[in-house]
Structures are given as C-alpha cells and as structure tokens.
C-alpha cells in the first residue's frame, strides 16, 4: 500500500503514541522501508546509520525499563526502531566506494583520491566530532524513515527520551561503537496524533 501524495504524507504526519496492537509489520516490508530511508544523504556518503528493529516481546521487554515515559509506544507499536550511529563507519568506506566504481557511479581515480583523503580524515576525528557527524547523518535517515512509513500506511513517533547510556549494551552492541540517535515507534495509529503548533517562517528564517 503506497501513498504517493507527498503533501498528505508531509502535512498529516503526527507523532502517534498509541498504536493498534494487532498490526505487525512483515520483515520484508520493514527492510523495504529502511532501504528507502537510506537514500538519505550523508557526509562523504559514509552512511553511518544502523537500525535495530525491536519487534519481539522479548526485545520490547528489554526496552521497557529504558524508555522512561514512552512505555505506551513500546507496548502498542509494531516495532521500536532504534537508530544508532556507527562511530566506526569508515570501515565500510572501501566497500561503498568500490561498489560505486563497479556500478559505474564513480570513476576509479576519483575513488582512489576520495578514499586516500576521507578515511584518514575520518579516523583522525575526535569522538565529539564523529558523534556530531553520525547524529546529523542518522537523523536525516530517521526523518526519511518516518515519511516512508507514512507512504506505506504506517504512523510513527520519534523518541529521544530513553537511557542512552544503557541501550546498546542491553542489546549486546558495542557501546563505544554504536551511538544511540533516536528510537522511532512505528505501527498503525489507534489514537490519532495531536496537531502541533509551528513558529512562523519569519521567526525561524532570515534572508540576507
Ligand atoms: C529528537 C526527538 C525526540 C523526541 N522525543 C520524544 C519522546 O521521548 N516522547 C514522545 O512522546 N515524543 C517525542 N518526540 C515527539 C515530539 O514531541 C513531536 O515531534 C513534536 O511535539 C511535534 O509533533 P508532531 O511530531 O506530531 O509533528 C520527539 C521528537 C524528536 C524529533
């Protein structure tokens, strides 16, 4: 089920907190949505986003004590998609650039030049600098995921209120490597989301 009405997808997206518990999302469909979300741009195309799809009862039980006031979303959603940023994303650099050449998307010499510059540069970054990069890039993919979800007939809620220092470990992930960015609850709405006020363009924009 694809909704191609971009205006509807964009303007009617609202954070949904209570989902229809009967609705599950097939793994293949979830993969398709993630694939589309990862058409998002990223710094030097390093694609540092990683997705942990928590859909089982067991997984949700692990999440429950870590998500503070967001338990309704955990209990009723089809899945809680935890978006992480991979602090070692440059380990995929060769694979990404080699495939770009193999698919005729980039000349070999450009690849060589980019890899020689980008990988040492990324390795030289401080933790704080890399943290900024993975959070910016992964947030773009997260936003795309929420819009793609609407196109597939689902609703979402981005969640930042969770125990960031415990979530990687709870799912046996290396906490030094995987930086939690946000959780996206996804499912079909049971209780509709509320309208929310936006500041005017004048208040948030300056033309010079
Ligand atoms: C990074 C981020 C973190 C958020 N964290 C939470 C959260 O922990 N719990 C929650 O219910 N909503 C959370 N929200 C949802 C916001 O409250 C919501 O997006 C905002 O009020 C605008 O409403 P809308 O999404 O319906 O347009 C978060 C949103 C973002 C972008």
Q: Quick one: what percent of the chain has pLDDT higher than 90?
A: 99
Q: pLDDT tens digits, residue range 37-75?
A: 999 999 999 999 999 999 999 999 999 999 999 999 999
Q: Exposed e or buried b for every residue in 176-201, given b needs 16+ CB within 10 A?
A: eebbbbbbbbbbbbbeebeeeeeeee
Q: Which residues line ligand 1 (CB under 6 A)?
A: 14-15, 17, 70, 157-161, 182, 193, 196
What is the pLDDT at residue 12?
97
Domains: count for the chain: 1
Higher-confidence position of 2 and 125: 125
Does residue 24 fall inside a structural domain? Answer: yes
Cα–Cα distance between 8 and 60 in angstroms, integer? 31
Identify which of 133, 149, 123 has the alpha carbon closest to the alpha carbon of residue 181: 133
Q: Which two tokens stand for residue 173?
A: 């992930």
pLDDT value at residue 159: 98
* pLDDT tier for residue 173 given thresholds of 50, 70 and 90: very high
199 is a domain residue: no
Nearest CA to ligand 1 atom 30: 158
Mutate to test the pocket of ligand 1, among 74, 160, 196, 199 (most ligand atoms within 8 A of CB): 160
Structure tokens at 87: 């602090």
Q: How far is the CA of 16 from the centre of ligand 1 (A)?
A: 9
- Does residue 92 lie in a domain region? yes
Asked if residue 1 is part of any domain, the answer here is no
- Quick check: is 198 in a domain? no
Q: Choose one of 158, 186, 191, 193 to mutate for the ligand 1 pocket test, by most ligand atoms within 8 angstroms of C-beta.
A: 158
- Within-domain flag for 111: yes
d(CA 172, CA 39): 27
Q: What's the per-residue H, E or C state across 4-27?
A: CCHHHHHHCCCECCEECCCCCCCH
**CATH number of the domain that 70 lies in?**
3.40.109.10
Q: Considering the domain boundaries, does residue 205 fall inside one?
A: no
Residue 136 CB neighbours (<10 A): 14
pLDDT of amino acid 2: 87
Domain holding 52, by residue range, is 6-188
Residue 159 lies inside a defined structural domain of this protein: yes
Question: CA-to-CA distance for 188 and 77, rounded, in angstroms?
Answer: 8
How confident is the model over 115-156, as pLDDT tens digits? 999 999 999 999 999 999 999 999 999 999 999 999 999 999
Place of tokens 């980019």: 114
- Nearest-CA residue for atom 22 of ligand 1: 196
- pLDDT greater than 90 at residue 1: no
Closest listed residue to residue 52, CA positions, set 138, 122, 132: 138
**Residue-level pLDDT at 197:** 98
């Amino acid at each position: 089920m694809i909704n191609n009405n971009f205006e509807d997808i964009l303007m009617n997206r609202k954070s949904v907190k209570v989902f229809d518990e009967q609705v599950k999302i097939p793994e293949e469909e979830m993969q398709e949505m993630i694939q589309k979300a990862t058409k998002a741009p990223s710094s030097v195309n390093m694609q540092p986003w990683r997705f942990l799809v928590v859909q089982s009862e067991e997984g949700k039980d692990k999440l429950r004590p870590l998500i503070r006031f967001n338990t309704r979303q955990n209990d009723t959603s089809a899945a809680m998609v935890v978006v992480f940023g991979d602090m070692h994303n440059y380990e995929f650099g060769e694979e990404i650039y080699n495939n770009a050449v193999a698919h005729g998307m980039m000349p070999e010499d450009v690849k060589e030049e980019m890899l020689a510059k980008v990988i040492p540069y990324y390795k030289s970054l401080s933790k704080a600098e890399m943290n900024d990069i993975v959070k910016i890039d992964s947030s773009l993919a997260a936003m795309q995921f929420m819009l793609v979800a609407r196109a597939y007939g689902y609703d979402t809620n981005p969640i930042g209120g969770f125990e960031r220092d415990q979530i990687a470990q709870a799912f046996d992930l290396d906490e030094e490597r995987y930086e939690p960015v946000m959780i996206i609850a996804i499912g079909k709405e049971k209780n509709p989301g509320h309208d929310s006020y936006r500041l005017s363009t004048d208040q948030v924009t300056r033309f010079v």
